[in-house]
């Protein structure tokens, strides 16, 4: 079976079990501060397990794009060195939210593997949880008994908490699990060593393919387990490993998922795969990493200097480094490999096709800059070496090596290779010490410590009423203390809330809650999965009182104007520049709006003027908001609304329509475009290869701009003693002298002297 057939057979089988197939969530996580990337299929369902919200479907399945490169589940160092770990992989998963449990999950897994995929039963082992005294969780004899119906007792192995108790992170839903392992060694090897002894022992041919987790607990911040309100199933099977097993290969990289990429690497390097361990590892690293990089960019995550973007940058650099060091590649090559990937996987993942050009451009630019880094780094090392030699030293100082690594992005093992070639030692201890200090610094900067929730009242799901109301009476349902960057604050959850939580580019609302005696300021509103969380610096004394909540309405109204203007801008951009323009990010607050989009050249002044004019025409036309709150996603798409890659949509979506502008959007908007008042572009520039950024102002800010400009014209014409049209011509000349965007900021700074010179 080819990869595509394996994926399809999985979905067809589960469909027959009355399980709904849903799309993969984006790989880059946007609304869970505890996760940067989706590291397991269950991430997007965390709230359902915890009972914070209810899934409309009790049983679902999907194939999920996962990335395990940071946090609790981090496989990066294994990737390429072994033959069965990946940064990005596809997880075939099925879930039950309080519906079927151990028996069905086990029966179906067995039926699928043995009857559909026809894996030899004599090559299979299963593990069950052997219990843990400290956590007070007994051995999972229930699962053992269900397995006994299918498989001999000596093939059921008991495993410890380390292997058979699955947890998503340090806190959150967890439970005992039961894994299915397959022994893929040849007959001779199997005779020599009993497969049982190799289970969970890092053997490349005796590997786990499916993990059935039985979610029963929530791990609290203090390490204790508490029972979940209901029991759930969360299973995950690595598609790449399954393919290796079904295609009778010795390694994931020998399956049709990777072979075409390896062939391409052979072509461009002139080296053969499987001839030399060092080049083999390099090729595996590269063909693995190109998937992680391309899919992240397609999901809207560009390489950058911080957060998730930095992780992607590091993966890309790791691939380039292996290409450079082991394969002798001195010029960008990953960008071409991404094209091969798009050709082969573009049907299953349309985002690779539609964003192919962007992915290639972004990768090329990153690679080219890293190759330059390598060049300058090598020069620097050579300087360091000759300096050390003239000083009669035979060691490079740890701090200098760290500076190369940290400030100049030069890989440590390359430094050490060059040093060795020059018969120089490295102060590795000094380097490690600097590295540890830096890690401590960044941990302290990003660490979030959350206490457990303190529940004040039971309320099923918090209702958001902020589209219609900016104030209401409410109760605090629960709260917790959070420590971040040495600052302590509180998070509150209400039974009902008018506060909009940061999302879709729009900032979170600010405001207050008051019970008549005390007023508590809400300084921000955020979302954690589906939960709306209100941030405040202190708790009210009387937590159970009725509070009157007020959103800062002036601020919200300005934000709404900017948000609606963003939609009009998006539409105008597609009209003026073309349909290739796609939103790549946005920020909307009460001050201004920022909009990033794909476009491959600078937007000219004429185009900018036309875009601005089109938006202002729509504002003047006073187009009424046509808002539909719950539209089936297919209907929304028929209406012309574009789904953005990298965003998660449910079956029902909210559609915001202003005339021809139709968008899927959860944000807050004006009732009529006339409320926006006026729209003024203030800058245009590049954020990355193929991505442009526009900033603009609306409302009072835009009106003031136009007013000031009119006054300036008057002054100019009075001073020059010339009519207004001459003043306009003068402004045109200034525009030509000062490139956009600087001219807007600098216009008022142009001196009269300069004007006279013009
Ligand atoms: N969450 C479990 C895992 O990642 C099962 O999908 O292994």
Distance between CA 450 and CA 463 in Å, rounded? 23
Nearest ligand 1 atom, CA 213? 5
Task: Tell me the three-class secondary structure of 137-198, residue by residue.
Answer: ECCCHHHHHHHHCCCCHHHEEEECHHHHEEECCCCEEEEEEEEEEEECCCHHHHHHCCHHHH
Could you tell me the pLDDT band of residue 725, with boundaries at 50, 70 and 90?
A: low
Distance in Å, CA 213 to ligand 1 centroid: 7
Q: Whose Cα sits closest to atom 4 in ligand 1?
A: 40
How much of the chain is in helix, strand and coil states, percent to nearest 5? 45, 25, 30
Q: How far is the CA of 451 from the centre of ligand 1 (A)?
A: 25
429 — pLDDT class (breaks 50, 70, 90)? very high
Q: Is 42 in the pocket of ligand 1 (CB under 6 A)?
A: yes
**Residue 72 in this model has a pLDDT that exceeds 80:** no
Ligand 1 centre to CA of 235 (Å) is: 6
Instruction: Give me the chain's average pLDDT, please.
Output: 90
Each residue's pLDDT tens digit, 627-644? 999 999 989 999 999 888
Q: How far is the CA of 15 from the centre of ligand 1 (A)?
A: 20
H runs (alpha helix) in 299-427: 307-327, 334-345, 350-354, 356-390, 398-406, 412-421
pTM of the full structure: 0.83
Task: Return left, alpha or beta for 642; rule: phi > 0 is left, psi -120 to 50 is alpha, else beta.
Answer: beta
pLDDT-based confidence at residue 742 (cuts at 50, 70, 90): very low
pLDDT tens digits along 241-250: 999 999 999 9
493 Cα–ligand 1 center, Å: 29
Q: Are 199 and 181 in contact (CB under 8 A)?
A: yes
Q: Tens of pLDDT along 474-529?
A: 999 999 999 987 789 999 999 999 999 999 999 999 999 999 999 999 999 999 87
**Domain ranges in the chain?**
3-254, 257-393, 455-551, 557-757
What atom in ligand 1 is closest to the CA of residue 93?
6
- Measured in Å, residue 234 CA sits from the centre of ligand 1 at 6
pLDDT bracket for residue 747 (50, 70, 90)? very low
Of 67, 129, 166, 200, the one to substitute when testing ligand 1's pocket (max ligand atoms within 8 A of C-beta) is 166
Burial class (CB in 10 A: 0-12, 13-18, 19+), 202: exposed
Q: Atom 6 of ligand 1 has which residue's CA nearest to it? A: 236
From 234, 237, 239, mutation site for ligand 1 pocket: most ligand atoms within 8 A of C-beta: 234
557-757: CATH, from 3.40.640.10, 3.40.50.10860, 3.30.980.10, 3.40.190.10: 3.30.980.10
CA distance 308 to 68: 12
- Cβ-defined contacts of 731-737 (< 8 Å, 24+): 733/758, 734/758, 735/605
First-last CA distance in the chain: 74
Among residues 85, 84, 63, the alpha carbon closest in space to that of 76 is found at 85
Residue 297 φ/ψ, nearest 5 degrees:
-65, -40
Q: How far, in Å, is the centroid of ligand 1 from the Cα of 143?
A: 17
CATH fold, domain 3-254, is BirA Bifunctional Protein; domain 2 (3.30.930)
Please tell me the distance between residue 756's alpha carbon and the centre of ligand 1 in angstroms: 72
Q: Does the beta carbon of 213 sit less than 6 angstroms from any atom of ligand 1?
A: yes
Count of CB atoms situated within 10 Å of the CB of 191: 9
Q: Does the beta carbon of 40 lie inside 6 Å of ligand 1?
A: yes
User: Which has the higher per-residue pLDDT, 751 or 683?
Assistant: 683
pLDDT, position 724:
60
Mutate which of 25, 42, 67 for ligand 1 pocket (most atoms within 8 A of beta carbon) = 42
Atom of ligand 1 nearest to the CA of 212: 5
**Using CB atoms within 10 A of its CB, is residue 223 exposed (0-12), middle (13-18) or buried (19+)?**
exposed
For domain 455-551, give the fold: Elongation Factor Tu (Ef-tu); domain 3 (2.40.30)
Tell me whether residue 421 is exposed, middle or buried, using C-beta atoms within 10 angstroms of its C-beta: 0 to 12, 13 to 18, 19 or more.
exposed
On the 0-12 / 13-18 / 19+ scale of CB atoms within 10 A, 435 is middle
Is the distance from the beta carbon of residue 211 to the nearest atom of ligand 1 less than 6 Å? yes
pLDDT band of 577, cuts 50, 70, 90: very high
Q: Cα–Cα distance between 515 and 547 in angstroms, integer?
A: 5
CB of 166 shorter than 6 A to ligand 1: yes
Per-residue pLDDT averaged across 376-381, rounded? Answer: 89
CB of 41 closer than 6 angstroms to any ligand 1 atom: yes
Residue 235 CB–ligand 1 contact under 6 Å: yes
Kindly provide the b/e burial profile for residues 285-300, where b requires at least 16 CB atoms within 10 angstroms of the residue's own CB: bbbbbbbbbbbbbbbb
Q: Which of 190, 156, 162 is nearest to 176 (CA)?
A: 162
Tens digit of pLDDT for each residue in 270-295? 999 999 999 999 999 999 999 999 99
User: Regarding beta strands 531-536 and 626-632, do their DSSP bridges make them parallel or antiparallel, or are they unpaired?
Assistant: unpaired
Q: Ligand 1 pocket, 93 CB below 6 A?
A: yes
Which of the listed residues 235, 237, 241, 242 should we mutate to test ligand 1's pocket, taking the one with most ligand atoms within 8 A of CB? 235
Determine the average pLDDT of the residues in 576-596: 94
Query: For 516, which DSSP code?
Result: S
- In contact, 614 and 647? CB cutoff 8 Å: no
**Is the bond preceding 686 in cis, omega lying within 30 degrees of 0?**
no
């Amino acid at each position: 079976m080819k990869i595509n057939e394996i994926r399809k057979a999985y979905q067809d089988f589960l469909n027959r079990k009355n399980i709904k197939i849903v799309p993969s969530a984006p790989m880059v996580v946007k609304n869970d501060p505890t996760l940067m990337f989706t590291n397991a299929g269950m991430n997007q369902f965390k709230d359902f397990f915890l009972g914070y919200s209810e899934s409309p479907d009790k049983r679902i399945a999907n194939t999920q794009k996962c990335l395990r490169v940071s946090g609790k589940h981090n496989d990066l160092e294994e990737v390429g060195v072994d033959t069965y770990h990946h940064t990005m992989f596809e997880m075939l998963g099925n879930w039950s939210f309080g519906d079927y449990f151990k028996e069905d999950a086990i029966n179906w897994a067995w039926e699928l593997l043995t009857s559909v995929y026809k894996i030899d039963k004599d090559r299979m082992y299963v593990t069950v949880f052997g219990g843990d005294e400290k956590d007070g969780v007994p051995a999972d004899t229930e699962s053992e008994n269900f397995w006994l119906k299918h498989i001999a007792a000596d093939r059921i192995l008991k495993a410890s908490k380390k292997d058979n108790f699955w947890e998503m992170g340090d806190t959150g839903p967890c439970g005992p699990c039961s894994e299915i392992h397959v022994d893929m060694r040849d007959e001779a090897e199997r005779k020599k060593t009993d497969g049982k002894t190799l289970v969970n022992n890092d053997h490349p041919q005796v590997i786990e393919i499916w993990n059935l987790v039985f979610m029963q607990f929530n791990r609290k911040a203090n390490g204790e387990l508490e029972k979940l309100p209901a029991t759930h199933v969360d299973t995950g099977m690595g598609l790449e490993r399954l393919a290796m097993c079904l295609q009778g290969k010795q390694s994931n990289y020998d399956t049709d998922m990777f072979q075409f990429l390896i062939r391409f690497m052979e072509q461009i390097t002139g080296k053969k795969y499987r001839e030399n361990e060092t080049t083999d590892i390099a090729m595996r690293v590269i063909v693995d990493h190109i998937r992680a990089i391309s899919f992240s960019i397609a999901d809207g995550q560009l390489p950058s200097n911080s957060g998730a973007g930095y992780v992607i940058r590091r993966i890309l650099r790791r691939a380039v480094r292996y290409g450079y060091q082991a394969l002798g590649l001195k010029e960008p090559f990953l960008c071409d490999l991404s094209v091969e990937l798009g050709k082969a996987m573009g049907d299953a993942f349309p985002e690779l096709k539609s964003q192919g050009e962007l992915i290639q451009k972004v990768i090329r630019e990153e690679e080219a800059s890293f190759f330059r880094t390598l060049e300058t780094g090598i020069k620097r090392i050579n300087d360091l070496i000759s300096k050390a030699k003239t000083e009669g030293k035979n060691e490079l100082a740890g701090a200098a090596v760290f500076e190369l690594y940290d400030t100049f992005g030069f890989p440590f093992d390359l430094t050490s290779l060059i040093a060795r070639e020059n018969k120089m030692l490295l102060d590795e201890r000094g380097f490690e010490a600097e590295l540890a200090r830096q890690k401590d610094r960044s941990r302290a900067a990003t660490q979030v410590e959350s206490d457990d929730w303190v529940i004040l009242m039971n309320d099923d799901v918090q209702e958001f009423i902020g589209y219609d109301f900016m104030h209401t009476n409410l109760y605090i349902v629960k709260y917790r203390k959070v420590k971040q960057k040495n600052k302590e604050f509180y998070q509150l959850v209400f039974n009902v809330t008018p506060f909009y939580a940061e999302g879709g580019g729009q900032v979170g609302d600010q405001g207050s809650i008051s019970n008549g005696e005390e007023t508590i300021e809400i300084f921000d509103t955020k979302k954690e999965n589906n939960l709306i969380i209100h941030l405040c610096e202190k708790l009210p004394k009387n937590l159970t009182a009725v509070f009157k909540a007020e959103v800062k309405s002036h601020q919200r109204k300005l934000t709404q104007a900017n948000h609606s203007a963003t939609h009009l801008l998006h539409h105008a951009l597609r009209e003026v520049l073309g349909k290739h323009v796609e939103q790549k990010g946005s920020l909307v607050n009460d001050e201004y709006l920022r909009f990033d989009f794909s476009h491959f050249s600078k937007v000219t002044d004429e185009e900018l003027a036309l875009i601005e004019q089109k938006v202002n025409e729509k504002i003047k036309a006073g187009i009424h908001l046509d808002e539909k709150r719950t539209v089936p996603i297919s209907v929304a798409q028929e209406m012309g609304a574009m789904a953005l890659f990298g965003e998660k949509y449910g079956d029902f979506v909210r559609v915001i329509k202003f005339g021809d502008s139709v968008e899927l959007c959860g944000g807050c908007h004006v009732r009529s475009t006339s409320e926006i008042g006026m729209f003024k572009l203030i800058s245009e520039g590049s954020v990355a290869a193929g991505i442009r950024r526009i900033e603009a102002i609306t409302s009072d800010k835009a009106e003031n701009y136009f007013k000031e400009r009119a006054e300036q014209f008057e002054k100019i014409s009075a001073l020059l003693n010339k009519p207004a049209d001459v003043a306009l011509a003068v402004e045109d000349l200034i525009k030509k002298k000062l490139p956009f965007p600087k001219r807007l900021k600098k216009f008022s700074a142009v001196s009269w002297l300069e004007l006279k010179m013009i």
